């Protein structure tokens, strides 16, 4: 039978309080930890994809001419930079752009790995205004990477990261395509 004395003893008993507090707080702490882990992985994936674009562009501009075998090797380096993340959704494109006499950026050649190459002699709309003077050349490197969280608890949907870089050729006025 419950009486005032028993209820008073029950109210002042604190033996299970820590377990109760843990049961209330633990789910929030686990979700916070998982969220931070997913956020960190997403940031790492974005940085590696961006670095892949940078490395690919840098390698292309170190040469005065490109061919199919060389560009394939450079795209493979881009894949290697992204690892240990899966590379199936990594898309890259390298485009040589030269400004015509009116300083309009035109595509000289373009090659893609997972991305469609741009057509030769088309206007390169992605090039910022005033980047090129008439006759100037630049190599534009684009990357798109769709990252899916391995945990999918806090970030359940895939995220796509895109980056574009522009590099001046180093050894010649422009990087030529030699098939």
Contact 156, 127 (CB under 8 A): no
Model pLDDT, residue 65: 95
Answer whether residue 142 is part of any domain.
Answer: yes
Domain presence at residue 6: no
Angstrom distance (rounded) from CA 31 to CA 147: 20
Q: pLDDT tens for residues 70-105?
A: 999 999 999 999 999 999 999 999 999 999 999 999
* 44: containing domain: 16-177
What count of residues does the chain have?
Answer: 179
The answer as to whether 10 is a domain residue is no
- Let me know if residue 157 belongs to a domain: yes
Q: State how many domains the chain has.
A: 1
- Is residue 8 included in any domain, yes or no? no
**In this structure, is residue 153 part of a structural domain?**
yes
Q: Is 5 a domain residue? A: no
| Distance between CA atoms of residues 80 and 59, nearest Å | 14
How crowded is the C-beta side of 172, counted as CA atoms within 13 Å?
A: 14
Which segments in the chain show pLDDT lower than 50?
Answer: none
Q: What is the pLDDT of residue 46?
A: 96
């Amino acid at each position: 039978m419950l009486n005032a004395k028993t209820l008073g003893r029950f109210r002042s008993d604190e033996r299970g309080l820590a377990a109760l507090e843990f049961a209330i707080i633990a789910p929030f702490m686990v979700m916070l930890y998982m969220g931070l882990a997913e956020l960190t992985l997403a940031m790492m994936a974005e940085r590696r994809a961006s670095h892949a674009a940078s490395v690919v562009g840098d390698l292309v501009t170190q040469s005065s001419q490109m061919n199919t075998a060389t560009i394939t090797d450079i795209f493979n380096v881009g894949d290697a930079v992204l690892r240990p993340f899966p590379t199936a959704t990594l898309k890259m494109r390298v485009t040589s752009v030269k400004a015509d006499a009116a300083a309009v950026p035109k595509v000289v050649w373009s090659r893609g790995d997972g991305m469609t190459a741009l057509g030769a002699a088309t206007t390169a709309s992605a090039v910022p205004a005033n980047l090129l003077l008439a006759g100037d050349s630049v190599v534009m490197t684009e990357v798109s990477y769709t990252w899916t969280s391995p945990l999918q608890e806090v970030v359940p949907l895939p995220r796509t990261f895109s980056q574009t870089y522009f590099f001046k050729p180093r050894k010649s006025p422009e990087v030529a395509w030699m098939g």
